Copies of this chain bind each other. A is one copy, B any other.
Amino acid sequence: MTRFALSPPAGRDEARRVKCSTLGIGLAGLGTVGSGVVLALQRNSDLITDRTGGTVRLKVAKALVRNPAKARAADLPADAITTDWQELVADPAVDIVVELIGGTDTAFDIVAAALKAGKPVVTGNKALLAERGTELFALSKEHDTPIHFEAAVAGGIPIIKTVQESFVGNRILSMTGIINGTSNYILERMANAGLEFSEALKEAQDLGYAEADPALDVNGWDAAHKAILLATLAYGFSIDPTKVYVAGIEQVRPIDIEFATRLGYVVKLLAVVREHDDGSIEVRVQPSFIPKSHILASVHGVFNAVAVHGDAAGESLFYGSGAGQDPTASSAVADLVEAARSLRQPDGHRGFLPYKEAGALVPVEETTTAYYVRFDVTDRPGVVAEIAAKLAAAGIGISGTHSPVNPETPDADFVDMVFQLHSCPFGLLQETLTEIEGLDCVNSSPVVFRIEKL
């Protein structure tokens, strides 16, 4: 259990402490967030030093870029620029390495090399930690060198420090988050402007919210990577991404949003992390209906929020900018200060380390909520009866059904038929829906939304 020796090696302390008047940062990546870090440090350097009682002064010693000729928002001297990541990590002027290049290959090599060199790491790379965190946390432990990743989850919202330090005395009962701003923007534009998914996505891309390849945003995996990190943090063990159920927003249609509105819900891409009574952990990402009176329903546009339920703190919510140059840089700078402090402390850093070998995940089949299910059916007498009979046979209750008929074509052959269902295990629902899909009146796979209680 103990990860720090009570009596650390003395020589190393001395070596560390001497360097601490000004600490050199090695910045891997000088794109949007990287430039934000440079600018924030230039702007608020004295303030940071004041606030840390004169103990921390930070300076970008070296930056890794792909193309040194490219014009950038952040101004650095030419000799501080390199295209060789090994040079960046090895540079004796670099005390802390900031990884902001993304991806899971070179980024992994950079982080691993920094840890091996005893240089604390700050990263905003959620995919890297969610996919390869087990290896990196092992290196962090082996070399007693921290990884900090506030910038990896929810941009400028300090959710990592909050869960790790402020909730240290709480069992975390649940965390429910809107943690992909692009999806949230798209769903809101569909709701408010009546746009189709593809139109809203195009708009988000034009505004620079979505990536050129928005796959990870809309398929739920960006949110899932963050949820995995939050769960790891709260419960202390690495989560296998292949065990996490993830559904994105590609299948959301205006009709679903209309139906949600009529029932008093809003549609959000929700990441849910929850501890069950037996200690096993539920982690999933799905489009969900949430009550419009809940404070999470007030999270608009590209903002993010995470609701945390602690056994002592009760219901809390942390809200802010989930992405963007300055907010993400704000988190990276806070981590840099943590990293700088760890270099002064012989006896423990605040980088996260798993504290359990493993833990149980709840299979998604056993997770239980109410549901909204949309079927694409051939409209003929008996359709409702046939679907309802299958649900009845499975013991799944129906709260309501509805088919939104276009007044101008009331006898269209193919229609959407919506069922609102009582709570049941997701596995039972899936089996039943597979059976229903076999009915000749059902034309394609049903689309499922969770109705979350919160």
Q: Within the complex, which residue of B150, B236, B355 is in contact with A166, where a contact is CB–CB below 8 Å? A: B150
A167 part of interface (Cβ distance < 8 Å)? yes
List the one stretch of A23-31, A62-70, A306-314 in contact with chain B.
A306-314
Cβ of A36 and Cβ of B312 under 8 Å apart? Answer: yes
Produce 1/0 per residue, A152-193, CB < 8 A to B.
000011100110111111110000000000000000000000
B residues in contact with A158, CB < 8 Å: 162, 165-167
Produce 1/0 per residue, A322-348, CB < 8 A to B.
001011011101101110010011111
Q: Within the complex, which residue of B305, B314, B330 is in contact with A321, where a contact is CB–CB below 8 Å? A: B314
Cβ of B348 and Cβ of A167 under 8 Å apart? Answer: no
Cβ of B344 and Cβ of A348 under 8 Å apart? Answer: yes
Residue of B nearest to A307 (CB): B319
CA distance A97 to B199 in the complex (A): 60
Cβ of B311 and Cβ of A295 under 8 Å apart? Answer: no
Cβ of A331 and Cβ of B166 under 8 Å apart? Answer: yes
Task: Given the known inter-chain contacts A1-B54, A295-B298, A312-B36, please indicate yes or no for A166 contacting B171, CB distance below 8 A.
Answer: no
B residues in contact with A356, CB < 8 Å: 50
A316 part of interface (Cβ distance < 8 Å)? yes
B residues in contact with A299, CB < 8 Å: 295
CA distance A245 to B333 in the complex (A): 34
Task: Given the known inter-chain contacts A17-B347, A53-B353, A341-B348, please indicate yes or no for A166 contacting B312, CB distance below 8 A.
Answer: no
Cβ of B311 and Cβ of A44 under 8 Å apart? Answer: yes
B residues in contact with A53, CB < 8 Å: 1-4, 348, 353, 355
Produce 1/0 per residue, A37-81, CB < 8 A to B.
000110110011111111100000000000000000000000000
A320 part of interface (Cβ distance < 8 Å)? yes
Cβ of B170 and Cβ of A44 under 8 Å apart? Answer: yes
Task: Given the known inter-chain contacts A3-B54, A326-B312, A327-B314, please indicate yes or no for A169 contacting B345, CB distance below 8 A.
Answer: no
CA distance A348 to B55 in the complex (A): 8
A48 to chain B, nearest CB (A): 6
Cβ of A50 and Cβ of B1 under 8 Å apart? Answer: yes
Cβ of B4 and Cβ of A55 under 8 Å apart? Answer: yes
CA distance A330 to B150 in the complex (A): 22
A150 to chain B, nearest CB (A): 7
B residues in contact with A47, CB < 8 Å: 169, 171
Task: Given the known inter-chain contacts A17-B6, A168-B337, please indicate yes or no for A327 contacting B313, CB distance below 8 A.
Answer: yes
A20 part of interface (Cβ distance < 8 Å)? yes
Cβ of A169 and Cβ of B44 under 8 Å apart? Answer: yes
Task: Given the known inter-chain contacts A165-B337, A313-B320, A317-B320, please indicate yes or no for A49 contacting B330, CB distance below 8 A.
Answer: no
Cβ of B40 and Cβ of A169 under 8 Å apart? Answer: yes
Count of this chain's copies in the oligomeric assembly:
2
B residues in contact with A316, CB < 8 Å: 156-157, 318-321
Most buried by B among A44, A49, A329: A44
CA distance A166 to B347 in the complex (A): 22
CA distance A21 to B1 in the complex (A): 13
Q: Within the complex, which residue of B20, B171, B345, B347 is in contact with A6, where a contact is CB–CB below 8 Å? A: B20
Cβ of A168 and Cβ of B345 under 8 Å apart? Answer: no
A315 part of interface (Cβ distance < 8 Å)? yes
B residues in contact with A333, CB < 8 Å: 168-169, 312
Task: Given the known inter-chain contacts A330-B169, A337-B165, please indicate yes or no for A347 contacting B348, CB distance below 8 A.
Answer: no
Cβ of A50 and Cβ of B312 under 8 Å apart? Answer: no
A6 to chain B, nearest CB (A): 7
Residues on A facing B (Cβ under 8 Å)? 1-4, 6-7, 17, 20-21, 36, 40-41, 43-44, 47-55, 150, 156-158, 161-162, 164-171, 236, 295, 298-299, 303, 305, 310-321, 324, 326-327, 329-331, 333-334, 336-338, 341, 344-348, 353, 355-356
Beyond contacts A53-B348, A341-B348: 8 other A-B pairs, Cβ-Cβ < 8 A, are: A36-B312, A156-B313, A158-B165, A162-B162, A303-B315, A314-B321, A315-B321, A345-B345
Can you list 17 A-B pairs, Cβ within 8 angstroms, ordered by A? A2-B54, A3-B53, A3-B55, A43-B171, A44-B171, A156-B310, A165-B334, A166-B331, A168-B337, A169-B330, A295-B298, A305-B317, A310-B330, A314-B324, A314-B327, A316-B318, A345-B347
